[in-house]
Amino acid sequence: MKPLKMKEQHFLYPYTPKLIIDNKKVKKNISNIINKANEWNVRLRPHYKTHQSEVVSYIFEQVGISTITTSSIDMTYRYINDIINDIFMAIPINIYSLDRLDFILNDEYLDRFIVSIDSIEAFRHLVPYLLDNRKLFFAIEIDCGYNRSGIDIEQDKKIYEIVAETMQRKLTDKFYGIFSHFGQAYNLVTDEQLYELNYENISKLSKVKRLIESMIDRSIVLSIGDTPSLRIYNKELLNNVDEIRPGNFVFYDAMQYLHGNCSLDEIAAFLYSPIISMHPERSELIIHGGAVHLSKDSTIDEGIVKYGLVGTWDLDKITLIPGAYVKSLSQEHGIISMDKNYIKNLNIGDHLAIIPVHSCLAMDAMIFKDGVFYWENI
């Protein structure tokens, strides 16, 4: 279909701001990573916290994905069905939510639910539930320098303490494996930096995996994953890795684009926002699109703090406006910095495509208030 002109997009104008999801690009992004995962001989367990969408989940299901990653019990429950039946909640379990596990485990479609721990205390709270339900498994999170959750890999005695107690309790068959998130990757730019981070951490984790397997006399899973590292993965690097858990690759965003992790044509999510105030004298526009739509994540590009990139949309592609960016955000307003000569071409009510810095947070902000519009230009 020939792309429509801007004036023919008026069907959307009364409903904006809306987060536009380009399904055609989503499908292409998913297909690309599935093909690469097959080439690398690893399982793809995509993280659903990025999209939290039944529409995107259906796209995954149509290409055979049955194993996913989530970050809450409620999110897990939303996506269990006759196709998605193996779910990994990759955040340390809140011990006070253990009594809610039946909410998940009693679902007839579920085959396996893997919860995460990073302490012997959490493991001990989990033991009765592991003993009681054949569908419940656990994984140990290991921190490789990101300094978030997880047992510090340099304090591996804590890891082996859990393994020893797993053996004592005769629960080794419930031990799914070890996992880590290399969050440092989001602040790295070059292939060399990303490769060094992954090579070093995978080597350390592989040693831990081998030692655990020798202790329990069975194989376990080594699970890693982040979107920036996708560009440097290869079969040799992932030789000892069993599965990857990226999520942001579904949509990508401004940070991924500025760091060279995707092309502009691969970005599948943006906020379509109306211009509500114009101030050419200070080279600024105001859009209806604030922190409640985009979140307040920012990135630094060429020494400038940016809360989003700015372009136009022709129903097929986004074209960035040179030098334009989201300068600041309040709750509902976004201030756009733009060359005053370009502003002369715009009018009140015109719409701009705002590429969020972090698409996961923009989606989370919009999807639960009917703020998402799925689009596919055939």
Domain spans, the chain: 6-20+256-375, 47-246
Q: What's the rounded Cα separation, in Å, for the pair 272 and 268?
A: 12
CATH number of the 47-246 domain? 3.20.20.10
Helices of type H across the chain:
23-40, 54-62, 73-79, 101-105, 120-132, 156-168, 191-216, 254-258, 291-294, 340-343, 359-367
For the segment(s) 6-20+256-375, the CATH number from 2.40.37.20, 2.40.30.10, 2.30.30.280, 2.60.120.10 is 2.40.37.20
Q: Are 300 and 367 a contacting pair, CB within 8 Å?
A: no
Which pLDDT score, from 0 to 100, does residue 9 have? Answer: 59
> What's residue 3's pLDDT?
33
Q: How far apart are CA 347 and CA 34, in angstroms?
A: 43
CB 310 within 8 A of CB 339: no
Residue segments in the chain with a per-residue pLDDT below the cut of 50: 1-7
- Structure confidence by residue, pLDDT tens digits, 313-323: 999 999 999 99
- pLDDT of res. 377: 84
Residue 342 to residues 254, 313, 319, 321, 345: CA-CA distances in angstroms? 21, 16, 14, 8, 6
Structure tokens at 236: 């040799």
Mean pLDDT taken over the chain: 96
How many Cβ atoms are within 10 Å of 82's Cβ, its own excluded?
9
